[in-house]
Amino acid sequence: MSTAAATATTTRTLPALNRPVAVLGAVAAALIANLIIWGIGEAAGGSFTTNTDGKVSDVAPGGVILMSVVPLLIGLTAAVLISYKWTGVLRVAAVVGSVLSIATIGMTLTAGFDTASTIALSLMHVVLVPAMVIALEGVRRHIAEQ
């Protein structure tokens, strides 16, 4: 006697998100993730300081908060506002924002941070990518459902 096991296929999709929830949720999620990465980097011995022209600059935690929140908040807000007239901007913004986030890792690599700080700060740039993509795709799905 043979039995066939029923296999259930589950399809995971991103939820539809209204504009404020998408923007604020993405910013909060990225900020929390980046603060966790900062904590791990600090525990690994990262100083998060750089010396430029004899001036020491400390980028954490204030810089982490500022550089996590401000660019993401401005970019996502601009994209969702434009999406009232042109929905296609959401996919364009996801690509452009992701490319800019990854490209700006170059500035971190050349800033003269110690290894632990460089790795942590670079990962913080990467964290912004899924936050942007999920938020913007969620808004796109919300618009499509209406």
| In-domain check, residue 62 | yes
Is residue 13, in this structure, part of any structural domain at all? no
Q: What percent of the chain has pLDDT over 90?
A: 80
Q: How many domains does the chain contain in total? A: 1
Tens-digit pLDDT profile for residues 4-39: 555 556 676 888 999 999 999 999 999 999 999 999
Q: Tell me the per-residue pLDDT of 42-64, one tens digit each, with 9 for 90 and over.
A: 999 999 999 888 888 888 899 99
Read off the pTM: 0.87
Within-domain flag for 38: yes
11 assigned to some structural domain: no
Is position 14 within any domain? no
Task: Please give the pLDDT value at position 135.
Answer: 97
Comparison of pLDDT for 60 and 66, the residue scoring more? 66
Residue 97 maps to a domain: yes
Average pLDDT, the chain: 92
What per-residue confidence (pLDDT) applies to 3?
52
In a domain, 139, yes or no: yes
Residue 112 pLDDT greater than 70, yes or no: yes
Q: pLDDT, tens digit, for every residue of 124-136? A: 999 999 999 999 9
In order, the DSSP letters of the chain are ---PPP-------PPP--HHHHHHHHHHHHHHHHHHHHHHHHHTT---EEEETTEEEE-TTHHHHHHHHHHHHHHHHHHHHHTTT-TTHHHHHHHHHHHHHHHTHHHHHTTT--HHHHHHHHHHHHHHHHHHHHHHHHHHHHHHH-
Look at residue 10 and tell me if it is in a domain: no
Supply the range of the domain harboring residue 91. Answer: 19-145
87-93 average pLDDT score:
97
Average the pLDDT over each of 9-18, 90-99, 116-125 and give the range with the smallest value: 9-18
